Amino acid sequence: MTTATITYSPGKFVFHELYTQDPAASKKFYCELFGWTAQDLPIGPDAFYTRFMLGETMVAGMMPIALIPAPDDQKPPAHWAVYVSVDDVDAATERAVAGGGTLLSGVHEVPGMGRWSVMLDPQGAMFRLYKAAAGDGEDVDGREWGRFCWESLATSDVPAAVKFYQDVVGWGTEPMGQMPLFTRKRANGETVSVASTGPAHNTPHWGAFVSTADANATLAKAKALGAKVLLERTEIPNVGAFAIIDDPNDAALYLFEPAPNS
């Protein structure tokens, strides 16, 4: 029997997870919008963790905000959480705190799943540091509709944010017009995440993008399902188009329509 090789790509975004006040409504919305299916796994009395699937592939997770171990007045609003792969969660967490970040929760470990911590960067954007027990998996083709394909940081202090993430997760940078790009070197190229000021809820945050073949059609469908549009389809020449919605529980989600030849 051949044993699968466990590989890691530090600095890679490896998972996305929705925290919501109304799991049933969120499940209905995303399954209808993207054609995902949902698998509910019991995690306590009348409590479930949901796996969102695209075919046979898990594309995201979901859990109720009520299960976050914090007083009700300290629980975050509905949001999509991003997980960044690191070699050592404890060491990366220490670097993040030393660099002005805030440890919200952790370090946690679930045997067979992974180890993680929940952080705020110095400007207040939430993210997770993560090491998966089974490795990081293969890179995703951003042109596969319904898959997460990009992450973008909206921040109030671009230079400070760039330095923070360079120190914590080892990203490099390069210019893209007036905005820097975070870059992560890998064997078959680079992945990039844009650092910029941005409008979703007007607070620093990481935005997670889902790929779509037609942003306008997806926006129209999202609105019909009860979402609000925060940003209409906006085109970036030779890159593609993006848009931002608030789902029915006010979790912001970004849409990305790749340029035909990108």
CATH number of the CATH domain containing 173:
3.10.180.10
Is residue 186 domain-resident?
Answer: yes
Token pair in block for residue 231: 């940003």
DSSP string, 131-180: EETT---PPP-TTSTTSEEEEEEE-S-HHHHHHHHHHHH--EEEEETTEE
Does one domain contain both 124 and 69?
Answer: yes
Assess whether 22 and 124 both reside in one domain.
yes
* Separation between Cα atoms, residue 10 and residue 88, nearest integer Å: 9
The domain in which residue 120 lies consists of 13-132
How much helix, strand and coil, in percent to the nearest 5, is found in the chain?
20, 45, 35
- Domain shared by 152 and 221, yes or no: yes
The reply to whether 98 and 152 lie within a common domain is: no
pLDDT at 1: 45
Last residue of a domain, one of 68, 100, 132: 132
Asked if residue 179 and residue 96 are part of one domain, the reply reads: no
Q: Please report whether residue 8 resides in a domain.
A: no
Token pair listed for 22: 């109304």
For residue 137, being part of any structural domain is answered with no
| Same domain (yes/no): 96, 153 | no
Tens digits of per-residue pLDDT, 93-110?
999 999 999 998 878 888
What's the pLDDT at 192?
55
Q: Give the pLDDT score at 143.
A: 67
**Does the pLDDT value for residue 116 go beyond 80?**
yes
Residues 158 and 125 in one domain: no
Q: Tell me, yes or no, whether 138 lies in a domain.
A: no
- pLDDT recorded at residue 98: 98
- Tell me: the pLDDT tens digits for 147-160? 998 888 888 888 89
Report d(CA 149, CA 157) in Å as an integer.
24
Q: In this structure, is residue 139 part of a structural domain?
A: no
* Pairing of β 148-154 and β 189-196: parallel
Closest to 127 in 3D by CA, of 61, 81, 76: 81
- Residues 126, 154 within the same domain: no
Whether residue 114 sits in one domain with residue 54: yes
Position 27 in a domain: yes
Question: How far apart (Å, rounded) are the C-alpha atoms in residues 175 and 81?
Answer: 26
- 30 and 124: one domain? yes
Residue that terminates a domain, selected from 132, 156, 172: 132
For all residues of the chain together, what is the average pLDDT? 86
Total of domains in the chain? 2
Are residue 65 and residue 123 in the same domain, yes or no?
yes
- Judge whether 95 lies within some domain: yes
Mean pLDDT for the stretch of residues 61-73: 81
Q: What does the pLDDT look like over 184-225, one tens digit per residue?
A: 655 444 455 555 655 555 788 899 999 999 999 999 999 999
Q: Is residue 128 part of a domain?
A: yes
